[in-house]
Amino acid sequence: MADSDQQLKSDALLEQMKTHLTTDAGKETIKKVGLVYQLNIAPKKLGFNEVIYTVDLKKGEVKKGAYEGGKPDATFSFKDEDFLKIATGKMNPQIAFMRGAMKIKGSISAAQKFTPDIFPKPAKL
């Protein structure tokens, strides 16, 4: 049973990303990546009570909920704190994947473009 009203630490970063995608740096990211990612973020344990976000780097949108335009290019599952570590560059995505801290479905080449560079630099997290 997913409680979509629970607060994740990642919520603040994903809100910042919405704003970031309207800036010139954000538009560069959209041009460079041009893919759709679905993020399944679990508060404590992978696969439980996940909050789903769609990061659409084709249209430049971040929204809560599953991707509606078909299948996302890649879907990632991680715990809230691991997602923050990856997004802020404190954890290497490949190492996170090998340790089982992150699960990936979909295109591997799309997944490889999912790097900390697509996220805004943390100002006040």
pTM (2 decimals)?
Answer: 0.89
Residue-level pLDDT at 123: 54
| Mean pLDDT confidence for 11-24 | 94
Residue-level pLDDT at 122: 61
Residue-level pLDDT at 124: 45
What mean pLDDT value characterizes the chain?
90
The encoded tokens of residue 47 equal 């696969």
Quick check: 2 pLDDT over 70? no
Whole-angstrom Cα distance, residue 82 to residue 85?
Answer: 5
Integer angstrom CA distances of residue 15 from 21, 39, 66, 84, 125 = 10, 14, 16, 13, 11
Quick check: 1 pLDDT over 70? no
Quick check: 103 pLDDT over 80? yes
